[in-house]
Structure 1
Amino acid sequence: MLALLVTTLLALLAGTAGPAAAGPAAAEGDASRGPFVLVGTGGLRAEDVSPTATPEIWRALGGWRALAAARTSSGSAGGTGGAGETLAVAPGLDVVRSVGASTCPADGWLAVSTGRRAADDRTQPDCRTLVEPGADGRVPAWDEYTAAVDGQDFDARPGALGDAARAAGTRVTSIGPGAAIAVSDADGAVVGTHVDLPTDPAALGTAVRAALGSSDLVVVDAGSVTVDGRTSAGAQDGTPGADAHAQQVAAVDARVGAVLRAVAAGPSPAATDVLVVSLADSGTTPHLQLALGTGPALSTDGDASDGTTVLASSSTRQPGLVQTTDVQVTVTDALGIPVAPEVTVGSAIGTAPSGTHGTARLHALVDVSEHASAARPLIAGFYVFLVLANLLLYVFVVLGLRVDARWLGGAGQWLRRHPDGVLRALVTAGVALGSLPVATTLANLVPWWRAGSPGWVLTAVVVGWVALITAVATAMPWRRPLLWPLGVVGGVTAGVLALDAVTGATLQLSGLMGTQPMVAGRFYGINNTSFALFATASVMLAVALANPLVLRGRRRAAAVVVAVVGVVATAIDGLPSVGADFGGPPGLVVGFALLTLLAAGVRLTWRRVLVVLVGAALVVVALAVSDYLRPPEQRTHLGRFVDDVLHGGQSAVLTRKLGQNFATLTNPLALVVTGGVLVLVLVLGRPLRGALVRPAGSPLEWLTRDTPLSQLGHDAPMLGPGIVATTTILGLGFLANDSGILVPATGILVALPVLLAVYADWLLGVRSRGAAAPRPPSDGSDAS
């Protein structure tokens, strides 16, 4: 059976090494193409774009039909285009997350230079004001940049883009201080020609037109929108105040429009690639930023200028979402600049169908951005509530339901006079808490973030889903199997997460327990929190399905059921085109292999455990290698890790992962979760041990009615193996994932409430069968 489990998993990988539609493919360099124009800004969001606030950008988004036709006509004819023409662009959202929670302009430009996360020193509260290169042609404060980046754990190399462009003979023109950072070499010397950023947009357009005639790569710093009115170039776009933001947005829009018109009026607009991307936040609060693109290299799945596409990247697999770390590889791929694979972690930006056209694409992106912004402030509060709700439930069970709980007074006596009602309430509460995580995922089926009070609307939606799942799990108590609640909560949780992973992880995006775009961790597949939920729920489902078979003596059938659930769960979690999870498969393979053996009635020996561990290692290696064999632009982090190992970069990755793992031990939110779980275990441990072996003397004897908890093991023989499997999976998940202690903590917060519900439900069955005669409630006077 174990061999079948491992063999089946390996067989599933046979077809994954070929190309997969994970995202837009990178365009190959083509000598017939025109130059690449990169326009960087900061603090410019999709919410800022409107016909009045940003007329130039709005025109490029909304007038796509006429503009695209003019663009194609002028390009094919080799004409220069009219002075009033601009380019039609595909919009997108840029995830600017760098080393810190918010990103400064210098951080964004350093990410373009390095192709990785890199940031300026943040010992000062404000972002550095960028300054034009001096007479020596070097970027000011370059040594400070490199020192800061060297102290970070992302293996970034400042100057990588400039060095690669020089080595390839690429002609480069940079305009503005941020652009100089992007194209400097490792020593801070600006590669190619540098032009100071003109204050007049018309002069900027003239400079861009001149550069297009002599350069392959033109990089422009269009300034930034900031909370204090200061741009990245150090210029003042109006005085701070109520109108400062609008004035800065208008100034950036004018510069972007000048660049777009210069390209449209250039010698080959149809062959020129233009990428406009906001690389930084406007302040300390992170947001998704605006990106715009057009040109042959960016038109990987539909013409970027036809008005129906949005920008996309394999690094996110979410149409409309790209990352700043994607910018460098987009430029180098388009221009055919050779860059070593280990330099960058990004994927080339391309296009994807949007299902809308014109400015409607922008409205859809604004919705995505507002969703992410609305979810962010609610996450910490939700986790605190989840932990406290579990604590209140278990503390009440252990302290409030004790036979000697005098402190409850009359309420305690009332509870002890209604034991069946108490048990039913525990069943309902346990199932409700266990279904809360998946309810937060299902809540994203409803656009709660569009409401005037999104937090309250989200609460109502989550409560509705919890009520529905709880009703199904607790329905018809006289007919349902003992582990029915376990199966319902586990099945719904695992099923929803699996279906979401297969269909693109859109429900998890900006979910309370899902993937947060502004964190730039995972945008697709199954992240660490989802893994803890998915793995725990899969075991719960397998246990619920196998338990009736074991009770009927059909252990082989039970083992097959467990193995099938394990194979499906591991495939969904680990396949690069689905879950793309590197740290999850080892625990899933080991845990489900042990559960399969125990379901079959096989005694565990050290040799069998060793075989299980070897099989898990083979599955993980096969997953990673199969992903590595795909084209570089289609690899997930699994294949990129193999590439790092082959090129000697694994130490930086492992160091960062270990650092993130141990950092969770001091994270305030992690401390709340971890402390809560420890309290649960300690508080529940003693009374449950007493109920297990000595029910007559247990503090919960008035509920157990002299029925030992060990009897539950006979009625539900798969519960014990399920606990072993869950502990194994979550323990290995703790070691293999950078979320550290949050992995087992999250799994426990799902499993424990439902296990309590099963125990209470079992006691209801025992009492209803008349296993013990009712005893008068005690007031606690005889307790010792």
Structure 2
Amino acid sequence: MFVRLLTALACTLGLVLPAHAWPGTAHAAPVPAPAEQTAPLAAPAQDATSAQVTGAAPVSLTAQPPPEAVPADADAPASGTVVIGSSGLSLEDLSPETTPHLWRMAEEGAAGNLAVRTLTPATCAASGWLSLGAGARMRGADLTPAWQHPLFLDRACPRMLEPTSEAADAPESTGPQPTGLAPAAFSEFHRVDDLNATGGYGALPGAFTHAADSALAREGAPDADATPPAAEGAQADRSAEPSWCTAAVGTGASYAAADPEGQVGLWSPLSTLLDEPEDADERTREKRAAERTALLSACSLTLVDAGTAADPLWDPAASALWSEATLGTLRSAQIQELDDRVGLILESVPDDYDVVVAGLGDSAYPSRLRALLATGPSYPEGTLTASSTRQAGLTQLTDVLPAVLRNTGMEAAGSSPAAFTVDTGTAGKPAQERLDSLTADARKAATVHTHAQTFGIVLDVLFYALFLFTMIGFTVPVVRFMRRRSLAARRRADSLRPAAAVAADAPAVPLSGWRTGVSWACFALGLLPAASFFAGFLPWGRAPDPALALALSIAAAVLVLLLAAVAGPWRRTWAGRIAAVSLLSALVLLADVALGSRLQFNSLMGYNPIVAGRFYGLGNQGAALFLVASLLGLGIVAARLGAHGRAGWARALTAVYALVSVCVLGNPAWGAKFGGTVAALVGFTVLLLALFRIRVNLLKLAGIGAGALVVIMGVAWLDYLRPPAERSHFGSFFAQALDGELLDVIGRKLGANLRIAVINPGLAIVVPLAVLIVLFALAYLRRSRRTAVLARPWDGYLPEALTDPHVHAGFLSAVLALAVGLVITDSGIAVPATGAMMFVPFLVVLSLDAAQRAEGEDASSTADGTVRSAPAYAPVTPAAAETGEAGATSAASASGSTETDRNAPGPEATA
């Protein structure tokens, strides 16, 4: 009776409690086995005949399958995965004629582009395989023995060596090995750790090719001496599948499967898989096919190095000798040979296995996006996307193993949130159409990667030319002023002459003939950065010459922005034109971020998948342009509304715009911009305080910055609470801080800034030049009692931003936002430099506009004998009235109206 009660209770608990609540099924995935396990491993899809042919007896399988496991014909997860790697393979290399097997994978399965960025500008085969196994970026090391090492020291790509069985540790268990597989090891593998110790990614070699819990796997491993319960001639029981292991076939696969000590649990040279006598009879071929099947399905994870799609001796330092164009027929022959090997593997892999083909490295310099093809139960027909990129058709090298293991329910020693999804919306399209779209994306990435630095240099040159022009333009009035009379003579003359005569005698600028042309040129220059994003609206990647198509697309975008500047009521003034194009650019960038960041992706000033620094959200340069465009445009609009007595509307508009912008930038699913959100909070807060006439000092600025950090850290904490696969940069950063990796992250960000300064020193110099121009043009000299006299030569030359409190607040908040971005963002040196590309040209345009209108008013007042009045759009503040000098009265009377004093920025509205 007691036994019956216990039996009934056990049955009841078995129905109520989930499977993972029982001791023997604590893992949803099969219990991993140590990589050095040597017990015979039965292939999940291998029958008894295959086992007899290979000499490996079927084994009792003890671990329980995943609770969700169902038969393969009912959409069950794959029983295992075969990952085939080949450096240099791209989607452009595929065609039905030359690569029929790879083409069939693209037709029947999923395809995508693969970013192969590691720790070097171009990814060598050794770096690619090491990064694949670690699930993190690594640098390949030369493992040549010490006595041979000097012969290969100067190679940019380290030579890859096969492991040896002599250095392998003795296996812990006895029993027959799977045919062709045996333990092996590298004797100089410590060089890999030494070379990657300062990489900043904490990479662990082979992390995703080893078991998650070796001790637990060892306890669950079958006894080699036990008699297997499988029936003779029948397939092994699927409910008793063994702990998964990793089999490495080929040289590169051994790099990925090696643990930190250089030990490879199960390894075989590629020849074991490929060798077959040419004159073999049918029985011999069947035997070799069964042996290949046993080899490929001996473990749940099999890595195969199928060779390279280029010269294996290529050197990134000699780009003129090794390129995909110059390799020509050599590369074509290797791709066809690779396709034959893939076809042989596809014939031998069980039907319930996934097969993934990845171009794990480059074949030439510069780096390019490579191919990723996947077929099997886990991959329906469609486009492959990784959770880390969130861009359709784009994956990362470091995501491959974590994602394929997740699809088969296996747990590795490494930890990664990476996951693959297949967009089946493209399943109905022909394979050629799907590949054409992916190839166009790869060509866009290559074009942007090649010409981004050239575009930056062009902007630098134009910026320096503008700087020289501005410097000369601001110097000429000083020289004239000094040559005409000394400061003392000027004071004596002012004390004797009437105020009207003083106002009429303002220094004239003989630039009216070409000032308009220069203004339009500067205006167009300020539109170039935004136009580089707007070019993404056109499909220039499909053109025969993508570089020319990109240049024409940018020119077309500039033309569209120019048309927008003259298409509405704002066209009558330069301030209105600048406000129109600024807010239009900012709103388009904001909408793009909320809709998937397609304009940021593959743009000259956005982010590039080959560089693989960021794949979604708002980039640093995009954030800089957005902040400048938003704050400058809002300042000008607020000035216009304030001039019509609608200050409340200006404050409400700015508050709503700021709230929407911060929500979009700080949303982990959209902007995911940590430093940019903090900079936006600071900039919009300063602008709002100025509009409410609240004085901003250093203490308040520090409080604003601290509050912004608290808000963004709260968002990062909330993002951290989500599952790892759903986290954005915010949650990942918070997790790294909790794991003690904060200093490594900061080190990488500082290194990125230093690399920018070294690679593009012109961009680094732009920052101080921009600061000088902005500070000088803002003319804070006029706002100080001691230096106001020094600013008098520039009367009539300075932009309206210095006279209207609202526009001045927009400029000031933009400067502060760029300064915060410089300090708090990674690659922060690019933030103020990029912002200056739009900020300074618009500032020069406003300066020229003010000078031109002042000159026209001088001419009209001289003709009719009246006193020159202040500009109509923004009254000039009589800053000299605060100096107490003799000329203060004349400057105040020159304003011509009492509205100047009423609209001037008072102490409570200035920073």
TM-score (norm 2): 0.70
Contact 2:310–2:331 under 8 Å retained in 1: yes
Secondary structure class of the residue paired with 1:198: helix
Task: Find out whether 1:353 has 2:424 as its counterpart.
Answer: yes
Distance in 2 between the 1:700 and 1:377 partners? 48
Distance in 1 between the 2:685 and 2:775 partners? 28
Give the 3 Å change call, closer, same or farther, for CA 319–518 of structure 1 in structure 2: same
Question: By how many angstroms is 1:748 displaced?
Answer: 1.3
Distance in 2 between the 1:486 and 1:197 partners? 64
User: Which residue in 2 is equivalent to 1:178?
Assistant: 252
Secondary structure class of the residue paired with 2:270: coil
Secondary structure class of the residue paired with 2:722: coil
Contact 1:313–1:322 under 8 Å retained in 2: yes
Letter of the 2:189 counterpart: W
**CA deviation digits over 1:594-642, x for unaligned, max 9?**
1111111112256644542342123211221222222211211211112
Contact 1:398–1:684 under 8 Å retained in 2: no
User: Which residue in 1 is equivalent to 2:497?
Assistant: none
Distance in 1 between the 2:713 and 2:99 partners? 50
Distance in 1 between the 2:462 and 2:373 partners? 45
User: Which residue in 2 is equivalent to 1:368?
Assistant: 441
User: Which residue in 2 is equivalent to 1:504?
Assistant: 596
User: Which residue in 1 is equivalent to 2:75?
Assistant: none
Distance in 1 between the 2:569 and 2:517 partners? 13
Task: Find out whether 1:101 has 2:121 as its counterpart.
Answer: yes
Give the 3 Å change call, closer, same or farther, for CA 591–649 of structure 1 in structure 2: same
Letter of the 1:674 counterpart: A
Distance in 2 between the 1:686 and 1:650 partners? 38
Contact 1:428–1:470 under 8 Å retained in 2: no
Question: By how many angstroms is 1:524 displaced?
Answer: 1.1
Question: By how many angstroms is 1:480 displaced?
Answer: 3.8
User: Which residue in 2 is equivalent to 1:638?
Assistant: 730
Question: By how many angstroms is 1:695 displaced?
Answer: 14
Task: Find out whether 1:49 has 2:78 as its counterpart.
Answer: no
Distance in 1 between the 2:701 and 2:779 partners? 28
What's the Cα RMSD here?
A: 3.3
Distance in 1 between the 2:717 and 2:329 partners? 54
Question: By how many angstroms is 1:730 displaced?
Answer: 1.1
Letter of the 2:96 counterpart: P
Give the 3 Å change call, closer, same or farther, for CA 684–499 of structure 1 in structure 2: closer
Give the 3 Å change call, closer, same or farther, for CA 404–635 of structure 1 in structure 2: closer
Secondary structure class of the residue paired with 2:264: coil
Mean Cα displacement is larger for which, 483-492 or 363-372? Answer: 483-492
Question: By how many angstroms is 1:774 displaced?
Answer: 6.5
User: Which residue in 2 is equivalent to 1:491?
Assistant: 583
Distance in 1 between the 2:509 and 2:686 partners? 43
Contact 1:94–1:288 under 8 Å retained in 2: yes
1:286 to 367, 374, 379: 367
User: Which residue in 1 is equivalent to 2:281?
Assistant: none
Give the 3 Å change call, closer, same or farther, for CA 289–405 of structure 1 in structure 2: farther
**CA deviation digits over 1:381-429, x for unaligned, max 9?**
11111121122233224326836999xxxxxxxxx99644433223312
Question: By how many angstroms is 1:48 displaced?
Answer: 0.8
Which runs of structure 2 are paired with 1:573-652 in the superposition (5 Å)?
Answer: 573-605=665-697, 608-652=700-744
Task: Find out whether 1:222 has 2:267 as its counterpart.
Answer: no
Contact 2:778–2:802 under 8 Å retained in 1: no
Letter of the 1:597 counterpart: L
Contact 1:399–1:405 under 8 Å retained in 2: no
Mean Cα displacement is larger for which, 168-177 or 434-443? Answer: 168-177
- Aligned residues, how many? 686
2:331 to 242, 245, 250: 245
Q: Which runs of 5+ in 2 are unaligned?
A: 1-28, 31-65, 71-77, 143-152, 169-183, 218-242, 277-287, 316-325, 481-507, 864-911
Task: Find out whether 1:754 has 2:845 as its counterpart.
Answer: no
Contact 1:583–1:737 under 8 Å retained in 2: yes
Task: Find out whether 1:133 has 2:163 as its counterpart.
Answer: yes
Contact 1:208–1:218 under 8 Å retained in 2: no
Question: By how many angstroms is 1:728 displaced?
Answer: 1.6
Question: By how many angstroms is 1:311 displaced?
Answer: 0.9
Letter of the 2:383 counterpart: V
Secondary structure class of the residue paired with 1:91: strand
Contact 1:426–1:756 under 8 Å retained in 2: no
Distance in 1 between the 2:437 and 2:118 partners? 25
Secondary structure class of the residue paired with 1:371: helix
Which runs of structure 2 are paired with 1:432-471 in the superposition (5 Å)?
Answer: 432-471=524-563
Q: Which runs of 5+ in 1 are unaligned?
A: 1-25, 63-87, 232-239, 407-415, 776-784
Contact 1:35–1:272 under 8 Å retained in 2: yes
User: Which residue in 1 is equivalent to 2:293?
Assistant: 209
Distance in 1 between the 2:251 and 2:187 partners? 9
Secondary structure class of the residue paired with 1:583: helix
User: Which residue in 2 is equivalent to 1:6?
Assistant: none
Letter of the 2:711 counterpart: V
Give the 3 Å change call, closer, same or farther, for CA 420–737 of structure 1 in structure 2: same
Distance in 2 between the 1:431 and 1:590 partners? 27
Give the 3 Å change call, closer, same or farther, for CA 570–604 of structure 1 in structure 2: same
Letter of the 2:92 counterpart: E
Secondary structure class of the residue paired with 1:134: coil
Give the 3 Å change call, closer, same or farther, for CA 726–685 of structure 1 in structure 2: closer
Distance in 2 between the 1:636 and 1:758 partners? 40
Give the 3 Å change call, closer, same or farther, for CA 241–533 of structure 1 in structure 2: closer
Letter of the 1:448 counterpart: W
Secondary structure class of the residue paired with 1:718: helix
Distance in 1 between the 2:425 and 2:644 partners? 53
Question: By how many angstroms is 1:438 displaced?
Answer: 1.3
Distance in 2 between the 1:736 and 1:646 partners? 19
**CA deviation digits over 1:121-154, x for unaligned, max 9?**
4874342232222012113542222221213111
Task: Find out whether 1:116 has 2:207 as its counterpart.
Answer: no
Q: Which gives a bigger RCO, structure 1 or 2 (Cα 8 Å, sep 6+)? A: 1
User: Which residue in 2 is equivalent to 1:156?
Assistant: 203
Distance in 1 between the 2:562 and 2:162 partners? 62
Letter of the 1:42 counterpart: S
Distance in 2 between the 1:614 and 1:386 partners? 34
Distance in 2 between the 1:202 and 1:586 partners? 61
Which runs of structure 2 are paired with 1:163-562 in the superposition (5 Å)?
Answer: 163-164=210-211, 167=214, 168=217, 169-191=243-265, 193-198=266-271, 201=274, 207-227=291-311, 242-263=328-349, 266=350, 269=351, 271-297=352-378, 299=379, 304=380, 306=381, 309-339=382-412, 343-344=414-415, 347-353=418-424, 355=426, 356-399=429-472, 402=476, 419-474=511-566, 480=572, 483-562=575-654
Task: Find out whether 1:709 has 2:832 as its counterpart.
Answer: no
Contact 1:95–1:321 under 8 Å retained in 2: yes
**CA deviation digits over 1:36-76, x for unaligned, max 9?**
111111100111111232121123334xxxxxxxxxxxxxx
Contact 2:157–2:314 under 8 Å retained in 1: no
Distance in 2 between the 1:393 and 1:53 partners? 53
User: Which residue in 1 is equivalent to 2:232?
Assistant: none
Contact 2:247–2:301 under 8 Å retained in 1: yes
Give the 3 Å change call, closer, same or farther, for CA 711–91 of structure 1 in structure 2: closer
Question: By how many angstroms is 1:371 displaced?
Answer: 1.4
Distance in 1 between the 2:762 and 2:637 partners? 34
Distance in 2 between the 1:162 and 1:423 partners? 67
Secondary structure class of the residue paired with 1:389: helix
Give the 3 Å change call, closer, same or farther, for CA 687–188 of structure 1 in structure 2: closer
Contact 2:782–2:791 under 8 Å retained in 1: no
Contact 2:116–2:361 under 8 Å retained in 1: yes
Contact 1:118–1:152 under 8 Å retained in 2: yes
Distance in 1 between the 2:459 and 2:629 partners? 17
TM-score (norm 1): 0.80
* Identity %, equivalent residues: 31
Question: By how many angstroms is 1:165 displaced?
Answer: 5.5
Contact 1:403–1:700 under 8 Å retained in 2: no
Give the 3 Å change call, closer, same or farther, for CA 213–228 of structure 1 in structure 2: closer
User: Which residue in 1 is equivalent to 2:822?
Assistant: 734
**CA deviation digits over 1:731-774, x for unaligned, max 9?**
11111112121111111111111122223334444455568646
